[in-house]
Structure 1
Amino acid sequence: MTETAPGKSKRRRNVTCSGAPGHSLSWRKEKSVRIHEALTCDPVDVGVLRAAAVSEGGLLSQEIRRKVWPKLLNINVFCLPPKPGPCIRTNHRDYNQVLMDVRRSLKRFPKGMVEAERSVLQEQLVDMILCVLRSHPELHYYQGFHDVAVTLLLTVGLRLGTAMLQTLSTHHLRDFMDPTMERTRCVLSHLMPLIQSESPALHHFLLRSEVGCIFALSWLITWYGHVLSDFHQVLRLYDFFLASHPLTPVYCAAQMVLIREAEVLRADCDMPSVHQLLSQIPSNFPYETLISRAHSLLRSRPPSELERPTSLQRLKSISAASFRSLQISSAQQRPDFVLCQQMTPLSDVLPARSQNTLLKLAVWGISASLGAAALAVTQTALEWGPDLLLGLF
């Protein structure tokens, strides 16, 4: 197998399955291989990861999200903060409000989860939120912040979820964490101009109805986690948001209204009717279409245009201002297998049985002349660690 020069992504355009020459892998398998290759490049090819998160299907699985989400936020999974403990609750100004919000968040946990397990996760959720707030006293809790936190907790666990929440709080969500809602109003103020740029008729109808933008507030501050009942839909949007500019949820909100334009124009042109209609997102909403159109709008009307000072925008977005630095820093990340080797010798990481399995697999793979796809998955598994590799058998 040829080696790839450092800093260059390996590319396989026509990957074939072993035993089936000429037959392309399914798009999901091809995409999975591309993601794995990007993760094992040195430095990690974050551009490919962002493209994968935005394109159809997103990051495909929870396992892949646990690998890619930290890279999108430049988080070293081998250098996480300590597990937050109950002591962080002592005398915190937001403790009571956080506790009440978490106790009311039952619908955010999977249906059928036993009460004891959910109770443990709720306690972890409280500690996770308070840990972030204690680490950054300048941040102010808002109702809905726990909806973002619970999505991270259920996807990547307590320690990594806490690290991700810290980064999001100082970057993507920073505008919502001021002591006042002034910056939040500024973010909301981008919504109507985006709708106007795509449909002046719909924009005029919304102005006449006097509906305002308040219907979209919970969409933005919770990254739609509070208003969507399907957890997979929430995860798909999180793929998109984590890989994109902090104002991307506003573009999604605009397209969410534009996609329903015909339905909105048939409604009575008054605030109660339009607000009720827009507040209820249909269960069969086309989320892939939403993401595709929001991404196109993001390119045709970039955030730099929205951020030009107007009478509605008295404050600059902190989230938008910090995005460029996050992009630059995330482009210099080492792959996990390198970070792991820097922390611990491989012989200390792999138990004897795993090492034997890896060796047997390598010998068997070469002698059996595996196809390129199988070799790619095997190499990726070796670099990611024994848990993934043993799970293939």
Structure 2
Amino acid sequence: MNLKKSRSVGASSPLNGIGKQDVESRKKRKMAEITQALSATPVDVATLRRMAISEGGLLTDDIRCKVWPRILNVPIDSIPEELDKVQRENHKDYHQVLLDVQRSLRRFPPGMPDEQREGLQEELIDIILRVLQKNPQLHYYQGYHDIVVTFLLVLGERLATALVEKLSTHHLRDFMDPTMDNTNHILNYLMPIIEQVNPEVYDFMQQAHVGTIFALSWLITWFGHVLSDFRHVVRLYDFFLACHPLMPIYFAAVIVLHREEEVLECECDMPSLHHLLSQIPQDLPYETLISRAGDLFVQFPPSELVKKVAQQHSQETAASTFKDFELASAQQRPDTVFRRRRKEQQQQQQQVPAEARSSSLSVVQPTARRFVRLAVMGLTVALGAAALAVVNSALEWAPKLDLLFP
């Protein structure tokens, strides 16, 4: 049973602000580029990734059915017509999967007939158990079904099974360990990103001892569990599939940074701030945030962030094995500028009498914070090559997947 309803850019898209004719013209040009990339020999995966990242994403589910397998290097022709039979009752995770799927009613389109939804839920259970049965090194986690159901609704059971298996052994691999050590390690990248961009928000969150657990469901479900509009979910999946596997943590960071005023106006204690951050707004400017996440990935690649992560693991995570990319712009990163500026300030302070130094400290810190924030804002506008760098990063990692089709 396949839910085959094409979803195009909806009313909430920023494309509506530029006129209906312009929107249609852009969509036609993008569709033509996608068609050309799919028809190339070999398939032009870099262009497909760029289309998935760029404004509006892949536009419809029909296009996603053609592009998502190419991005994940799943040869459609090699997928068997008959899927493996699932031994449900004998699987150790069956009862937990069943409970989670039964609670997933909100993940299905409103108004869907009960019979159709129940059929899809049965397929969802089979996909999950089939992947786990074939890959015993993978461990089910609550939230995994939120990712799988998105693929099921877009692709149907046969295609979804193949793509979910590839995704589970690569992008999601760290979440499927027997412990949460690697998941926590990835969550620890969140605060260094926030610190680099907005030290004031970072300091406030540190003082509140809020931690990063508020973003756990965002990360392990690719936001599928917390967003109510399916159009926004698949738009993010376009973006994440086309990018480095750590991109969801960058997107989590830009959501927090986007809510700067709310954060700083909140009570500075863990329960209040955790509650605020856990309630993710549904009216986010998704295209703007996607662009910012890509820019931050360019400015602060994982190789830079890992130096700031306190928790280290002896076991190398899957995310840490992905090769970092070269910056696609000659612009200086704001962290480099900030460090140089801070060094100059320290040198100046050494020349200032001690009694004057303490009185000027309160002025220096806000000035430095404003400086780094303005630097980041300036680069967000200036880094027109950020999307290209993100694509190149994904392609640098992609040879591990034998990216090009024969």
Match of 2:248 in 1: 249
Distance 1:269 1:62 in 2: 43
For 1:292-371, what aligned pairs fall within 5 Å after superposition?
292-308=291-307, 310-314=309-313, 315-321=315-321, 324=396, 326-327=398-399, 329=401, 331-334=403-406
Q: Which amino acid aligns with 1:124?
A: E
User: Does the CA-based 8 Å contact 1:72-1:330 persist in structure 2?
Assistant: no
Distance 1:159 1:25 in 2: 32
2:115 aligned with 1:43: no
Q: Which amino acid aligns with 2:405?
A: Q
Distance 2:137 2:400 in 1: 24
* 3-state SS in 2 of match to 1:71: helix
* 3-state SS in 2 of match to 1:78: helix
Quote the offset at 1:313 in angstroms.
2.3
2:62 aligned with 1:63: yes
For 1:41-120, what aligned pairs fall within 5 Å after superposition?
41-81=40-80, 83-84=82-83, 87-120=86-119
Distance 1:142 1:309 in 2: 28
Quote the offset at 1:325 in angstroms.
5.1
Change in 2 beyond 3 A, CA 1:224/1:183: same
User: Does the CA-based 8 Å contact 1:247-1:320 persist in structure 2?
Assistant: no
The CA deviation string for residues 147-179 of structure 1, in whole angstroms up to 9 with x for no partner, is 000000000010110001001111000000000
Match of 1:173 in 2: 172
TM-score, structure 2 as length reference: 0.74
Change in 2 beyond 3 A, CA 1:261/1:77: same
Identity of aligned residues (%): 53
User: Does the CA-based 8 Å contact 1:211-1:270 persist in structure 2?
Assistant: yes
Change in 2 beyond 3 A, CA 1:241/1:327: farther
Unaligned runs of 5+ in 1: 1-22, 335-393
User: Does the CA-based 8 Å contact 2:192-2:309 persist in structure 1?
Assistant: no
Q: Which amino acid aligns with 1:128?
A: I
Most deviating of 77-86 and 185-194? 77-86
Distance 2:176 2:200 in 1: 34
Quote the offset at 1:87 in angstroms.
3.6
2:26 aligned with 1:27: yes
Most deviating of 228-237 and 299-308? 299-308
For 1:190-201, what aligned pairs fall within 5 Å after superposition?
190-201=189-200
Distance 1:132 1:70 in 2: 16
Unaligned runs of 5+ in 2: 1-21, 323-393
Quote the offset at 1:308 in angstroms.
4.5
Match of 2:282 in 1: 283
Match of 2:229 in 1: 230
User: Does the CA-based 8 Å contact 1:195-1:258 persist in structure 2?
Assistant: yes
**Aligned pair count?**
312
Q: Which amino acid aligns with 2:239?
A: F
Distance 1:25 1:206 in 2: 43
User: Does the CA-based 8 Å contact 2:244-2:397 persist in structure 1?
Assistant: no
Change in 2 beyond 3 A, CA 1:168/1:224: same
Quote the offset at 1:306 in angstroms.
2.7
Cα-Cα RMSD: 1.8
Change in 2 beyond 3 A, CA 1:65/1:230: same
Change in 2 beyond 3 A, CA 1:32/1:145: same
* 3-state SS in 2 of match to 1:88: coil
